Amino acid sequence: MRILIIQTAFLGDVILTTPLIRRVSEFFPLSEIFFLTTPQGATILQNHPLLREIIIYDKHKTESSLLALYKKARYLKSRKIDIAFLPHRSFRSALLAFLSGIPERVGFRGAIGSVMLTKTVERDLSKHEVERNLSLLSPFTDKIKPAYPEVYPSREDYEFVRRELKEVFADRFGWRVIFAPGSEWATKRYPRIYYAEVGRILLEAGVRYIILIGGKEDRRICEDIQKRIGKRAINVAGLFTPLQSCALMTMCSLLISNDSAPLHMASAVRLPAVGIFGPTTPKFGFGPYGRLVKVVETELDCRPCNPHGPRVCPLRHHMCMRNISPYDVADAAFELLVKRFWLLRTNPELFIFPPK
């Protein structure tokens, strides 16, 4: 049997779909699993042991036309897929699966294009996105076990990170904390001066290094925060691939991030994480997923104002982020660091990566 998973949304969405790969492989043990995603999504799926093929669909650039969609459907038809799972609720994804002639097409009820699906599942808004994605298996089984996201950095990824941060890892003492201050959506970014203040509080209280990560587009934001914090802040934004950033996370103690992909990367490598939420809310189902996680947010009548976070605050005050004190973020960070310290001594298997 050949099974296709289609997820062409953001990087974080791809990470939150990886538990479905695990459970599909267990329920269909002799199947070959294919995963169709964007070029960015493909970067986080490299080395995945359960995937037969990662099929890249560059829907925003080189394959944005209807002709390209038709060609991709012809390619999928040549793969002789038996079942397609569609966590992504887009019309284009449903059309692609339909044109590919895949006999069984499973997605969410009420999604755009659901008329082109053969089986639909209710999307339970009270659950985390990981659990919603796993529910796509419910037409086949009522015994769906929980699962964490998974990523698989290579040995070369680990070696590259250690080379680039040689001085950091030569120092074996003290906590290393990662900051991920970027986001594609401007209103989801915690203010730079607040991040810098959190960094200074943590360093004064015993944290050894602050490491700032992100894409090339986040480089200037991270540089500004680095300068404000001082010499024990290290900016690697734009230097590491997503999998290399995951490798880095396995060698650190904590992540502090906006509502963006690094939160889900941390879940995949079992790294404790503090999520800072402003215009969005974890109630949408995209909060940090795991045992050692904390969400910092403030109550306002105007939030949440958008599922993704608008480009500009509709009320022009951005109080959903500005009202969050750096001391509250630092308190959440220290609470997780202390819990991690004790759990490493009592339940070290919680932090084994990759999990056995």
**End-to-end CA separation in angstroms for the chain:** 26
Compute the distance between CA of residue 132 and CA of residue 20 in angstroms, rounded to an integer. 10
Going by pLDDT thresholds of 50, 70 and 90, the confidence category of residue 228 is very high
- pLDDT (tens digit per residue) in 296-347: 999 999 999 988 899 999 999 999 999 999 999 999 999 999 999 888 888 8
Q: What pLDDT is stored for residue 123 in this prediction?
A: 97
- CA-closest candidate to residue 235, choices 254, 248, 250, 247: 248
What's the token pair of residue 218?
């986040």
156-164 average pLDDT score: 97
> So where are the chain's domains?
2-137, 155-351
Going by pLDDT thresholds of 50, 70 and 90, the confidence category of residue 174 is confident
118-135 average pLDDT score: 97
CATH pick for 2-137 out of 3.40.50.2000, 3.40.1390.10, 3.40.50.1820, 3.30.1380.20: 3.40.50.2000
- CA-closest candidate to residue 173, choices 199, 223, 208: 208
| Percentage of the residues of the chain whose pLDDT score is greater than 70 | 99
What's the token pair of residue 171?
């120092």
pLDDT at 354 over 70: no
What's the token pair of residue 345?
């001594």
CATH of domain 155-351: 3.40.50.2000
- pLDDT (tens digit per residue) in 84-125: 999 999 999 999 999 999 999 999 999 989 999 999 999 999
Compute the distance between CA of residue 122 and CA of residue 109 in angstroms, rounded to an integer. 5
Furthest-apart CA atoms within the chain: distance in Å: 61
Going by pLDDT thresholds of 50, 70 and 90, the confidence category of residue 355 is low
